[in-house]
A = this chain, B = another copy of it.
Amino acid sequence: MAQLHLLSPAGFRAAGVYAGIKTKQNPDVGLLLCDRSATAAAVFTTNKVFAAPVKVGRAHVKSGKLRGVVVNAGNANACTGKQGERDALRMCEIAASIAKCKKTEILPSSTGIIGHLLPMRKLERGIVEAGQYLGTSLEHARLFAAAILTTDIKRKEAATSFKVGKRTVTLAGVCKGSGMIGPRMSLAGPSASSKKPLHATMLAYLTTDAAIGPPLLRKLLEGASDRSFNAVTVDDHTSTNDTACILASGASAAKVSSSKDARTFAAALEEVCRSLAYQIAADGEGATKVVAITVRRAKNTEAATAMARAIANSPLVKCAMHGNDPNWGRIVSAAGLAGVPFDPEKCVLTLQKTVVFRAGRPIEFDANAVSERLDAPEVTVDLDCRAGTGEATVWTCDLSKEYVTINADYHT
């Protein structure tokens, strides 16, 4: 069987071209179109400061129907005022002229430096050029995936297929994200809730040829995002531009509406989103390893999530993981600062399969052996609170000197 990719679901074409927005000569403008009106859902950053394309995208996706997305990397079009909004709309207009649809049927995205107006001459030319190179091959999918990257080292791609009745449905996605990563996306705009959003621009675009209605697609995307993209943090800095958008072409004629089919679809969507989210953690700025933090048997899911995030966001924990240092005190103390009920006397902390802390006391363990096992591409931290049924996993990466190098000199 051929390798599945973003354009495997029937009905989609894409392109990625270099328009001169990024400094390095890599694709920086992407266009993904559906040849019919697709059911669409999207979640966006909850940062109070959100970019122009997020404002425009929120409005355009409301109808539940889109024909495509247009993206640029190298410039976030954030903190750019009214001109920024006009520019985001102009991106849609050009993409719409290619798709032969209304500009409100296009979702725009941007990622890159904040506070600079988009170089519209280059960008307009780039979108037009992308329109001339649209195609359905693996290579087209890869060029689109490459066009959305910024400080990412690798493309991030995932796909799966499954049966709905007797029909085969394909679901695929690409994403980007390396720095300013701590998404907390939601369907609504930035809420007044006390939820602390994290950061990094992460962008994700998903395609499927399932036939599904907008309300169900929204609900399933929101759930999948919470357990995937919203469970990744690199630097706990929720971006102004975070966006995940799914387009369902319906071209497979497989209708997802029964609760059984919805569950199947949800599982596939979550699988793809989790794979993409994991790839973000693995490609975090300066990362040498993924750290997968699971908090189990916490009072409830919210408590588990808060504790896992607190651990994941501690620079002390991240540095210890970088140095293969089984300094578990940092992990337990980080869990204690999540602001949720937590009794260290009851919990058990396991680091790379070795119990290091139990019943409020240190356990004798071979620190050198654990240190050797920490020298791995994936490290697991497991905190069993023995207090309830809440469970959550958060993925992060270690904190290296390379992270500082990348971020101390990004702008100038």
Asked whether any CB of chain B lies closer than 8 Å to the CB of A258, the reply is no
Tell which of A58-66, A92-100, A189-197, A214-222 binds the partner. A189-197
Chain copies in complex = 2
Report whether A320 and B401 are in contact in the complex, using a CB–CB cutoff of 8 Å.
Answer: no
Q: CA–CA, A78 to B357, complex, Å?
A: 12
The one of B314, B322, B408 that contacts A325, using a Cβ cutoff of 8 Å: B408
Report whether A48 and B337 are in contact in the complex, using a CB–CB cutoff of 8 Å.
Answer: yes
Chain A: interface secondary structure? loop
The one of B50, B357, B404 that contacts A404, using a Cβ cutoff of 8 Å: B404
When C-beta atoms are compared, the residue in chain B nearest to A399 turns out to be B404
Q: CA–CA, A410 to B76, complex, Å?
A: 38
Tell which of A34-42, A274-282, A360-368 binds the partner. A360-368
| Best-surrounded residue of A47, A403, A410 (most CB of chain B within 10 A) | A47
A329 proximity list for chain B (CB < 8 A): 76, 78-79, 113-115, 240
Report whether B323 and A407 are in contact in the complex, using a CB–CB cutoff of 8 Å.
Answer: yes
- State which residues 332-364 of A face B: CB under 8 Å: 332-345, 357, 359-362
The one of B199, B361, B408 that contacts A322, using a Cβ cutoff of 8 Å: B408
When C-beta atoms are compared, the residue in chain B nearest to A307 turns out to be B48
Report whether B359 and A320 are in contact in the complex, using a CB–CB cutoff of 8 Å.
Answer: no
A357 proximity list for chain B (CB < 8 A): 79, 115
A336 proximity list for chain B (CB < 8 A): 47-50, 190, 238, 240
Chain A residues near B (Cβ < 8 Å): 46-50, 76, 78-81, 83, 113-117, 179-180, 182, 190, 192-199, 235-240, 313-316, 319-320, 322-330, 332-345, 357, 359-362, 367, 371, 399-401, 403-412
